[in-house]
A and B are shown apart, each in its own frame.
Chain A
Amino acid sequence: MQIKVMTNILERNDQVAAALQERFKKAGIFVINLLGSPGCGKTSLLEKTIEALKETLSIAVIEGDLFTAKDAERIEQHGVPVVQINTGGGCHLDANMIHDVLDCLDLGVLDIIVIENVGNLVCPAEFNIGEDCKVTVLSITEGNDKPLKYPLIFKQASAVILNKVDLLPYTNFDLKAAEKDITAIHPGVTLLPVSCQNGEGLETWFNWLIKQVQINKGKENN
């Protein structure tokens, strides 16, 4: 006997993610799912962002990592609430993992939660975790061929940050080609070249982020 099913395999994750999104929306919190390879500078970007904006915005961080609390320890130095999730070898965060740690945060006082996903350009792209938007970091040292090799994570991102642009003179990274590929995969995406090392471009990223939080607050008030 044949039984027609036609069910989305990730339906259960999507349901939990939708419930999380509703909870964040009610609390007026803007949530970012921060994605990128290991070593692309996700944590460095977060550190710079927290230092620049912690007086303006109430920020909390959820750190996803396979086994360690190294990133959470770095974030903690900056005096903002941080929760560590260890996936125990799992290559991505899923919605349930976020749900399970939310009670560790005081949602009533927050403007923004950044969830730093496990360093990986593949798996995290498939799993919604209740975020308002995804931000993907690609660093210059990874090579400009990565967007076409891992298109989904660039297609899903509202903003793509090209980090380590201070290293451009020392690599064969073709910035024009990278920008062309990323905008073909995702026309209209916000592309932000930055260097967490010398600070180049970071102001534009901070302004983008503040604007998203304001837009989100506007939605809440309406």
Chain B
Amino acid sequence: MHEMSIAQGILDIVLKTAAEHNAVKISCIKLLIGQMTQVEPESLKFGFAALAANTIADGAVVDITIMPLVGKCNSCGQQFTVERYSFLCPLCHSANILVVSGRELAVDYLEVE
């Protein structure tokens, strides 16, 4: 259940950001979670709700966007969706692949009052 550690990381970030903007209530937290991360969204929301009790993030909506796993071939430039975790270029079969998205674990933005 490492979602609890991740939820704690989110809470630290949102409380700090809200304080910097003198916000009194956090109503929504937008997260970007990559497809190739070991995070279960429902566990994360559950853990966050528990940790956020009695803070200004209590009851905040946690809105998660799952980011698809996308690679870019450094040899031929082809950008492609990684299927079955095969990090080989579907066009030129190069193994020199840059992961463009799919590894995100980020707080994108907050809605505050």
Contact = CB atoms under 8 A, between A and B. Distances in A.
Interface in B33-54: 36-39
12 contacts: A3-B110, A4-B109, A5-B14, A5-B108, A5-B110, A6-B109, A123-B38, A126-B37, A151-B85, A184-B86, A184-B88, A185-B85
B78 interface: no
B98 interface: no
A104 interface: no
Q: Which A-B residue pairs are the 7 nearest by beta carbons?
A: A187-B95, A123-B2, A151-B85, A184-B86, A9-B9, A5-B107, A9-B105
Interface of B: 1-2, 5-6, 9-10, 12-14, 17-18, 21, 23, 31, 36-39, 84-88, 95, 97, 105-113
A9 B87 contact: no
A141 to B, nearest CB: 22
Contacts of A4: 108-109
A202 to B, nearest CB: 28
A11 B17 CA distance: 14
Tell me the dominant secondary structure on chain A's binding face: mixed
B106 A6 contact: yes
A94 B6 CA distance: 11
A151 B106 CA distance: 20
A134 interface: no
Given A6-B108, A155-B36, 7 more contacts: A2-B112, A10-B6, A94-B5, A151-B36, A152-B36, A184-B87, A188-B95
B21 A127 contact: no
Contact of A5 (B2, B39, B85, B109): B109
Nearest to B5: A94
